Amino acid sequence: MGLLDKLFAPRAPRIQPIHVDDGNFVAEVARSPLPLVLDVWSPGCGPCAMLEPIVMDLATAYQGRVKVAEMNAAEAREYAARLGVMGTPTVLFFKKGREVHRVTGFVGSRYQRECGEQRHQQGPVRQAHRGMMPVSGPRLKPPRETSAHALPPISSDSITSRR
Protein backbone atom coordinates (compact mmCIF):
# COMPACT_ATOMS: atom_id res chain seq x y z
CA MET A 1 0.00 0.00 0.00
CA GLY A 2 2.95 2.33 -0.38
CA LEU A 3 1.57 3.84 -3.57
CA LEU A 4 -1.88 4.43 -2.10
CA ASP A 5 -0.36 6.02 0.98
CA LYS A 6 1.53 8.45 -1.23
CA LEU A 7 -1.55 9.26 -3.30
CA PHE A 8 -3.97 9.82 -0.42
CA ALA A 9 -1.67 11.03 2.37
CA PRO A 10 -2.18 14.62 3.49
CA ARG A 11 0.15 16.98 1.69
CA ALA A 12 2.35 19.57 3.32
CA PRO A 13 0.92 23.09 3.03
CA ARG A 14 2.22 25.12 0.11
CA ILE A 15 4.25 28.18 0.97
CA GLN A 16 3.27 31.35 -0.87
CA PRO A 17 6.00 33.53 -2.41
CA ILE A 18 6.45 36.95 -0.80
CA HIS A 19 4.72 39.76 -2.70
CA VAL A 20 7.15 42.55 -3.64
CA ASP A 21 6.27 46.02 -4.93
CA ASP A 22 7.92 49.45 -5.10
CA GLY A 23 7.15 50.08 -1.43
CA ASN A 24 8.85 47.01 0.06
CA PHE A 25 11.47 46.12 -2.59
CA VAL A 26 14.46 47.38 -0.62
CA ALA A 27 13.43 45.60 2.59
CA GLU A 28 12.51 42.29 0.96
CA VAL A 29 15.07 42.01 -1.85
CA ALA A 30 18.04 44.35 -1.45
CA ARG A 31 18.42 43.73 2.29
CA SER A 32 17.55 40.03 2.31
CA PRO A 33 19.99 37.97 4.39
CA LEU A 34 19.00 34.87 2.39
CA PRO A 35 19.57 34.22 -1.30
CA LEU A 36 16.45 35.27 -3.19
CA VAL A 37 14.56 34.17 -6.29
CA LEU A 38 12.33 36.94 -7.72
CA ASP A 39 9.66 36.09 -10.28
CA VAL A 40 8.63 39.19 -12.26
CA TRP A 41 5.26 38.61 -13.96
CA SER A 42 2.48 40.59 -15.60
CA PRO A 43 -1.29 40.16 -15.81
CA GLY A 44 -2.54 38.35 -18.89
CA CYS A 45 0.82 36.68 -19.54
CA GLY A 46 0.33 33.00 -20.48
CA PRO A 47 3.91 31.87 -19.74
CA CYS A 48 3.70 33.70 -16.38
CA ALA A 49 0.64 31.63 -15.48
CA MET A 50 2.51 28.44 -16.44
CA LEU A 51 5.44 29.50 -14.23
CA GLU A 52 3.27 30.23 -11.15
CA PRO A 53 3.01 26.63 -9.84
CA ILE A 54 6.77 26.17 -10.34
CA VAL A 55 7.49 29.28 -8.25
CA MET A 56 5.12 28.03 -5.55
CA ASP A 57 6.90 24.66 -5.52
CA LEU A 58 10.26 26.46 -5.18
CA ALA A 59 8.93 28.47 -2.22
CA THR A 60 7.85 25.26 -0.51
CA ALA A 61 11.02 23.31 -1.34
CA TYR A 62 13.46 26.06 -0.25
CA GLN A 63 11.59 27.31 2.81
CA GLY A 64 14.10 28.77 5.26
CA ARG A 65 17.09 28.41 2.89
CA VAL A 66 16.14 30.64 -0.05
CA LYS A 67 13.57 33.43 -0.07
CA VAL A 68 11.15 33.19 -3.00
CA ALA A 69 9.28 36.34 -4.03
CA GLU A 70 7.04 37.52 -6.84
CA MET A 71 6.60 41.00 -8.30
CA ASN A 72 3.86 42.23 -10.62
CA ALA A 73 5.63 44.39 -13.21
CA ALA A 74 2.51 46.53 -13.68
CA GLU A 75 2.37 47.39 -9.95
CA ALA A 76 6.11 47.81 -9.42
CA ARG A 77 7.04 49.79 -12.51
CA GLU A 78 9.90 51.69 -10.90
CA TYR A 79 11.87 48.63 -9.81
CA ALA A 80 10.96 46.67 -12.94
CA ALA A 81 12.55 49.51 -14.92
CA ARG A 82 15.57 49.75 -12.58
CA LEU A 83 16.16 46.01 -12.97
CA GLY A 84 15.93 46.29 -16.75
CA VAL A 85 13.03 43.86 -17.08
CA MET A 86 12.11 43.94 -20.77
CA GLY A 87 9.70 41.01 -20.86
CA THR A 88 7.79 38.67 -18.60
CA PRO A 89 8.20 36.23 -17.10
CA THR A 90 11.66 37.14 -15.85
CA VAL A 91 13.19 35.24 -12.95
CA LEU A 92 16.04 37.01 -11.13
CA PHE A 93 18.42 35.37 -8.67
CA PHE A 94 19.91 37.58 -5.94
CA LYS A 95 22.62 36.95 -3.38
CA LYS A 96 23.53 39.59 -0.78
CA GLY A 97 21.43 42.18 -2.61
CA ARG A 98 23.14 41.62 -5.98
CA GLU A 99 21.64 40.05 -9.06
CA VAL A 100 23.68 36.97 -9.96
CA HIS A 101 21.55 35.40 -12.69
CA ARG A 102 18.52 36.14 -14.86
CA VAL A 103 16.21 34.03 -16.98
CA THR A 104 13.71 35.68 -19.32
CA GLY A 105 10.86 33.58 -20.65
CA PHE A 106 9.39 30.32 -19.46
CA VAL A 107 11.73 27.49 -18.47
CA GLY A 108 10.77 24.33 -16.65
CA SER A 109 10.98 23.46 -12.98
CA ARG A 110 14.12 21.36 -13.37
CA TYR A 111 16.12 24.33 -14.69
CA GLN A 112 14.73 26.63 -11.97
CA ARG A 113 15.71 24.14 -9.26
CA GLU A 114 19.21 23.68 -10.70
CA CYS A 115 19.74 27.43 -10.88
CA GLY A 116 18.47 27.89 -7.32
CA GLU A 117 20.68 25.13 -5.94
CA GLN A 118 23.74 26.35 -7.80
CA ARG A 119 23.26 29.99 -6.73
CA HIS A 120 22.44 29.02 -3.14
CA GLN A 121 25.53 26.87 -2.70
CA GLN A 122 28.16 28.55 -4.86
CA GLY A 123 27.17 32.18 -5.21
CA PRO A 124 27.78 33.93 -8.53
CA VAL A 125 28.60 31.59 -11.38
CA ARG A 126 31.09 32.63 -14.02
CA GLN A 127 30.12 30.11 -16.72
CA ALA A 128 26.93 30.12 -18.72
CA HIS A 129 24.41 27.46 -17.73
CA ARG A 130 22.44 25.84 -20.56
CA GLY A 131 23.05 28.77 -22.86
CA MET A 132 21.99 31.44 -20.38
CA MET A 133 24.55 34.06 -19.42
CA PRO A 134 24.83 35.02 -15.76
CA VAL A 135 24.25 38.69 -15.05
CA SER A 136 26.07 40.64 -12.38
CA GLY A 137 24.49 43.87 -11.35
CA PRO A 138 25.28 46.66 -8.94
CA ARG A 139 23.82 46.70 -5.47
CA LEU A 140 20.34 48.16 -5.57
CA LYS A 141 19.89 51.48 -3.86
CA PRO A 142 16.63 52.89 -2.56
CA PRO A 143 15.13 55.67 -4.69
CA ARG A 144 16.07 59.26 -3.95
CA GLU A 145 13.83 60.90 -1.39
CA THR A 146 13.09 63.92 -3.60
CA SER A 147 11.57 61.99 -6.50
CA ALA A 148 10.80 58.49 -5.31
CA HIS A 149 8.59 57.62 -8.27
CA ALA A 150 10.28 59.58 -11.05
CA LEU A 151 12.34 57.81 -13.67
CA PRO A 152 14.98 59.61 -15.75
CA PRO A 153 13.45 61.37 -18.77
CA ILE A 154 13.93 59.89 -22.23
CA SER A 155 15.29 62.32 -24.79
CA SER A 156 14.75 62.04 -28.53
CA ASP A 157 18.52 61.58 -28.93
CA SER A 158 18.46 58.37 -26.86
CA ILE A 159 15.86 56.68 -29.08
CA THR A 160 17.36 54.88 -32.04
CA SER A 161 15.59 53.50 -35.08
CA ARG A 162 15.80 49.76 -35.72
CA ARG A 163 15.30 50.01 -39.48
pLDDT tens, residue by residue, 10-57:
776 788 999 999 999 999 999 999 999 999 999 999 999 999 999 999
Please tell me the predicted confidence (pLDDT) of residue 157. 47
14-138 has which fold? Glutaredoxin (3.40.30)
* Residue from 20, 38, 48, 54 carrying the catalytic annotation: 48
Quote the DSSP letter at residue 145: S
Domain boundaries, the chain: 14-138
Q: What is the pTM of this model?
A: 0.65
* Residue from 18, 30, 34, 45 carrying the catalytic annotation: 45
The mean predicted confidence, pLDDT, of the chain is 76
Q: Is 115 a catalytic residue?
A: no
Please tell me the predicted confidence (pLDDT) of residue 146. 39
Q: Is 45 a catalytic residue?
A: yes
Closest to 79 in 3D by CA, of 19, 18, 140: 140
pLDDT for residue 145 is more than 70: no
